Amino acid sequence: MKTRKILTCILAGIMSLSALTGCAGGTQTDSTNTSASDTTSAQKNENADTSAAGSDTQSSDTQSNEEPITLDMYFPVSVGGGPDVLISNLCNEFHEEYPNITVNPVYAGTYAETRTKVQAAIKSGNTPAIALMFSIDLYSLLSMDAIYDFNSFATTDEDKEWLGGFYDGFMENSRCGDLTYGIPWQRSTIILYYNKDAYKEVGLDPETPPTTWSELEEYAQKLTKVENGTTTRYGIQIPSDKAGYAYWMLQTFCNQQNGFNLMNDTGTEVYFNDPRTIKGINFWKSLSDNGYQAPGTSAWSTTPTDFLEGRAAMIYHTTGNLTNIKKNATFDFGTAKLPADESFGSPTGGGNFYLFKGVPEEQTQAAYTFIKWMTNDPERVAQWSIDTGYVATRPEAYETERMIKYTTDFPQALVARDQLEYGHAEFSVYDQGSVQDILDTAIEAVMTGSMDAETAMQQAQEQADAILSQYR
């Protein structure tokens, strides 16, 4: 099976229309600019003899006396906390260390909008050398033969050590067979945020969040506040709108059934009509039916605001919003792993750096230098996590003095990392945009009551199968 998966990944980069098997694989802005001044510069790459095809060419380290190189980098902003400002500062810091390389961040909106813009740029012949996109875009990018694997560039012992030093949980959506195509940066798991003051108000222990589905339902019932016939505070809010990440939230209820997932590990099959999927979405819908969650769909973008303004006592959301909530909450709040059914579980999420084909070799080498600079230094990785709430993608970042001090004072920042023990690959398949839209549409139909779960998911299964059959 392993051999088949590796072969498939190679062919996927050559024949975008082949019917082949594949392989495994947040918007508010509260600006801050602490990252650039606080981080410690990483050591430059040395003697990494690579080329776009993996042959011997110039070193991956781009020296300051070479010709100026300018790179446009597409970058999504889907959470609060000011990551756009932080990225701009980091690009400026990189330029100080590598004066001949200028990286211009192009803030492209949500992850989905970034995907659309990058794909349009590729088709129009304006391919960027570098972009940070959904980790789940891997199969779609492979089918376009659009990206390089990083193994071809990481030829020195130093580079190989860097490439193998990320959390395994984040590599499930980053690798194809034995090759790495995405470098984790803006990565996350979904966590439970809860209002400790609201807990005290209704007699719940603020240090004991729910750990099971039944406890989640019990807590949500107690936390829901109705005044004069109007619900002024819902116990729980789990975003479900198509413009957000409805599929991601559904995955939580699937993963918590002994690790069941919505797709296979080759991106060619989905399990929308599986009884476990039906069970998960029905439990989610029951929270609304029982009055503990607002009826219909809840928006991804406004869910943190609803929590901060007291309209929801608990929410599911990305850890990427942790810093935003920490800075703006006027009450004491906690974070916790997602409640379990048969097991704990959360899909990972967020974005990876990609290297794109179709640009001059010197741009590719400069982009590789930038990506390694961004992701190799534990101090820089730690500061990014502190500034945003995203999980630091390398274990050694949690051993730095600044991270130890931060997490000692603010242990909520460790929940998402610790949940990696129960992490699973985020939903990722070929023709990601189309199949994801099918699933999000079905979830919306169930949550709004226009269709029962069995019917909606069966229709979604049939529609997805029609698309994915060409890749099997």
Q: Which of 61-65, 177-181, 279-283, 359-363 has the lowest mean pLDDT?
A: 61-65
The pLDDT confidence band at residue 108, using thresholds 50, 70 and 90, is confident
Q: Tell me the pTM.
A: 0.85
Per-position DSSP letters for 440-451, written without gaps between them: HHHHHHHHTTSS
Classify strands 423-424 and 346-355 as parallel, antiparallel or unpaired.
parallel
The predicted structure's pLDDT at residue 1: 43
The pLDDT confidence band at residue 32, using thresholds 50, 70 and 90, is very low
Q: What is the DSSP letter of 56?
A: S
The predicted structure's pLDDT at residue 354: 98
The predicted structure's pLDDT at residue 371: 98
The predicted structure's pLDDT at residue 411: 97
The predicted structure's pLDDT at residue 82: 65
* Sign, Cα dihedral of 109, 323, 337, 210: negative
DSSP-H helix ranges across 213-274: 213-223, 246-255
pLDDT tens for 353-385 read 999 999 999 999 999 999 999 999 999 999 999
What are residue 426's phi and psi, to 5 degrees?
-70, 155
Query: Pick the residue with more confidence: 169 or 16?
Result: 169
The pLDDT confidence band at residue 57, using thresholds 50, 70 and 90, is very low
pLDDT at residue 31 tops 90: no
The predicted structure's pLDDT at residue 178: 93
Contact assessment for residue 84 and residue 75, using Cβ atoms and an 8 Å cutoff = yes
The predicted structure's pLDDT at residue 29: 32
HEC letters along 328-390 = HCCCCEEEECCCECCCCCEEEEEEEEEEECCCCHHHHHHHHHHHHHHHHCHHHHHHHHHHHCC
Question: What share of the chain has pLDDT > 90, as a percent?
Answer: 82
Classify strands 101-107 and 69-75 as parallel, antiparallel or unpaired.
parallel
Give the number of other Cβ atoms within 10 Å of residue 49's Cβ: 14
pLDDT at residue 19 tops 80: no
Q: Which of 59-63, 201-205, 276-280, 402-406 has the lowest mean pLDDT?
A: 59-63
pLDDT at residue 44 tops 50: no
Cα angle: 85, vertex 87, 90; to 5 degrees: 110
Contact assessment for residue 112 and residue 433, using Cβ atoms and an 8 Å cutoff = yes
pLDDT tens for 62-100 read 444 578 999 999 998 754 446 778 999 999 999 999 999
Q: Which of 10-19, 62-71, 190-199, 412-421 has the lowest mean pLDDT?
A: 10-19
The predicted structure's pLDDT at residue 66: 75
Greatest Cα pair distance in the chain = 75
| 160 dihedral zone (left: phi>0; alpha: psi -120 to 50; beta) | alpha
pLDDT at residue 27 tops 60: no
Q: Which residues share a beta bridge with 221?
A: none
Q: Which of 53-67, 190-204, 269-283 has the lowest mean pLDDT?
A: 53-67
What six digits make up the tokens of 284? 């989610």
pLDDT tens for 400-448 read 999 999 999 999 999 999 999 999 999 999 999 999 999 999 999 999 9
pLDDT at residue 457 tops 60: yes
Instruction: Output the average pLDDT for the chain.
Output: 88
Coil vs helix vs strand at 163: helix
The predicted structure's pLDDT at residue 304: 97
The predicted structure's pLDDT at residue 4: 42
Residues whose CB falls within 8 Å of the CB of residue 377, separated by 6 or more in sequence, listed in order: 39, 40, 41, 42, 43
Distance CA 272, CA 461 (A): 5
